[in-house]
Amino acid sequence: MLGLYIERKSPIHALAPGAKMLALMLAAVGLIQVTDPRLLGIVQAAALGLFALARLPPREVAAQLRPVLLLGLFFFAVHALLVGWESGLVTVLRFTILVSLAVLITLTTRVSDMVEALEGGLRPLRRVGVNPAKVGLMISLAIRFVPLLIDLVREIQAAQRSRGLERSVTAVAVPLIVKTLRMASVLTDAIEARGYDPD
Amino acid sequence: MLTTRDMVHIALFAAIMAALGLMPPIPVGFIPVPITAQSMGVMLAGSILGARRGGLAILLFLALVAVGLPLLSGGRGGLGVFFGPTAGFLLSWPVGAFVVGWLTERFRARLTFARLLIACAAGGIFVVYAIGIVGVSLIAGLPLFQAAVGSLAFIPGDLVKAVVAAFVAHTVNRSYPVIRG
């Protein structure tokens, strides 16, 4: 399953996923305190500089950042009209910085490492009844079944095309869901027949 | 307590959400907003799997997006989507699916199309917009009223989705019911 990760040798790629997540959380908390747009501008420039430090291809980075930059422009305009342009600049820079850092983490961290970090992060929740082993099984099952269900959608669309129904959402969604639920039943029996017991 | 069956249902529905994201957006003639099947998946998760499993299926889908898989419609994904001004809408999805499922379970004895439509609209539209609008207001620093007015443009498309989702859920629940007594 292909993620958004881009393989490179860089100090940012080498950081532990947990450390990157912690840094992102600290940045989120820290940015709330900053109200000077000039300071935020410097931080945004530094955040963009980290993409260069991570040696990521500018084209890929631009493709990831374009949606938030467009949204940022839109919200800056609305904010400037309704509230004031200076506070608009501060608010918009706060979220564009955070999105930049979050995108940086996604592009420099393998999906498998992120899953591992997620499971590690859930471990303290064991006391309130969250079983990391079960979460892990559900994640791997879902990742395994995404390409299969995409194929299933294409298959159903091809079948419905012969009836002129490929543009009908219901004509695709109903067989997709019923087939998947049948698959779930078989899969459950198969897992239980192998004596799976996460508890 | 999640049984093996529950876990498989949750995982496969999260994968259905991803598959729905690859369906091309369907333009609706009279309004400018296309139907993307994914936000319809939120309503379907609740109305087919029920509150707990439906909510967890959408939560699992968001976890897959967060770990770096480009599964949102248009091939978007990664951690970044959870920090933009519309993050509230994404985070509202599991709650919305839970509410759709909770209502569907209440209506279980007589699951008519009309009742499913009420469930889908209440959870998939009302709850999603309530949380999403508060999110836009907080993150983009806009007054709540203006954030709400801006979001209203998308309501007609979502009403169409609720009708389609209720129809699909009605058909599936008659032929292959998952929510049982």
Q: How confident is the model at residue B113 (pLDDT cuts 50, 70, 90)?
A: very high
CB count, 10 Å around CB of B131? 17
Mean pLDDT of B58-87: 93
Instruction: For residue B26, list its beta bridge partners.
Output: B35
Rounded to whole angstroms, how far apart are CA atoms B165 and A173? 9
Predicted confidence (pLDDT) at residue B153 exceeds the cutoff of 90:
no
Residue of A nearest to B58 (CA): A142
Q: What is the pLDDT of residue B151?
A: 86
Measured CA to CA, the distance from residue A179 to residue A151 in angstroms comes to: 12
Query: How many CB pairs below 8 A link A and B?
Result: 197
Contacts of B13 in chain A (CB under 8 A): 180
pLDDT exceeds 70 at position A40: yes
CA distance A40 to A51: 17
Which three-class secondary structure state does DSSP give residue B12? helix
Q: How confident is the model at residue B35 (pLDDT cuts 50, 70, 90)?
A: low
Task: Provide long-range contacts, Cβ within 8 A and 24+ apart, for A19-23.
Answer: A20/A105, A20/A108, A20/A109, A21/A105, A21/A117, A21/A121, A23/A101
Per-residue confidence (pLDDT) for residue A129, from 0 to 100: 87
Residue B141: which of A83, A178, A181 has the nearest Cβ?
A: A83
Distance, in Å, from the CA atom of A100 to the CA atom of B146, rounded to the nearest integer, reads 26
Return the amino acid letter for A131: N
B31 falls in which pLDDT band (50, 70, 90)?
Answer: very low
- pLDDT higher than 60, residue B50: yes
> Using CA atoms, how far apart are residues B13 and B54, in angstroms rounded to an integer?
8
The Cα A148–Cα B16 span in angstroms is 10
Instruction: Give the pLDDT score at A81.
Output: 92
Query: How does residue B28 score in pLDDT terms, banded at 50, 70 and 90?
Result: low
Interface touch B4/A141, C-beta < 8 Å: no
